[in-house]
Amino acid sequence: MSERHYLRPTAFVDAPFGLDGKVARLAGGLGWFSALEVTKLAGDRIVSAELIPIDQAAEAAARLGPDAERAWRNLTTPRGPLTLGERVVRLDQPQTVGILNVTPDSFSDGGRFVGPGEAVDAGFAMASAGAAIVDVGGESTRPGAKPVWEGDEIERVVPVIEQLARSGTAVSIDTRKAAVMEASLAAGAAMVNDVSALTFDERAAGVIADAGAPVVLMHHQGPPETMQEAPLYDRPVAYAVYDWLEARIEAAEAAGIARERIVVDPGIGFGKTVRHNLQLLNSLALLHGLGCAVMLGASRKRTIGALSGEAPPDQRLAGSLALALKGAEQGAQLLRVHDVPETVQALRVWRGLRDAALAPR
Q: Phi first, then psi: give them for residue 87, nearest 5 degrees.
A: -100, 145
The C-alpha angle with vertex 197 and arms to 192 and 200, in degrees rounded to 5, equals 100
From residue 174, alpha-carbon distances to 107, 141, 166, 299, 338 in Å are 15, 10, 19, 15, 14
Half-sphere exposure of 104 (CA within 13 A, CB side): 5
Strand-pair partners of 136: 100, 173
Cα–Cα distance list, 317 to 299, 301, 322, 323 (Å): 8, 10, 9, 10
Q: Distance (Å, rounded) from C-alpha 203 to C-alpha 343?
A: 35
Integer CA distances (angstroms), 23 to 52, 55, 88, 242, 355, in order: 11, 8, 29, 24, 18
Query: 115 and 81 in contact (C-beta within 8 Å)?
Result: no
What is the pairing mode between strands 262-265 and 293-296?
A: parallel
Catalytic residues: 301, 336
CA 74 to chain centre: 17
How far apart are the C-alpha atoms of 99 and 257, rounded to whole Å? 24
Phi/psi of residue 243, each to 5°? Answer: -65, -40
Please say whether the beta carbons of 233 and 280 come within 8 A.
no
What is the C-alpha to C-alpha distance for residues 324 and 351, in angstroms, rounded to an integer? 13
Rg (Cα) of the chain, in Å, rounded?
Answer: 20
Q: Are 247 and 228 in contact (CB under 8 A)?
A: no
Cβ-contact 198, 251 below 8 angstroms? yes
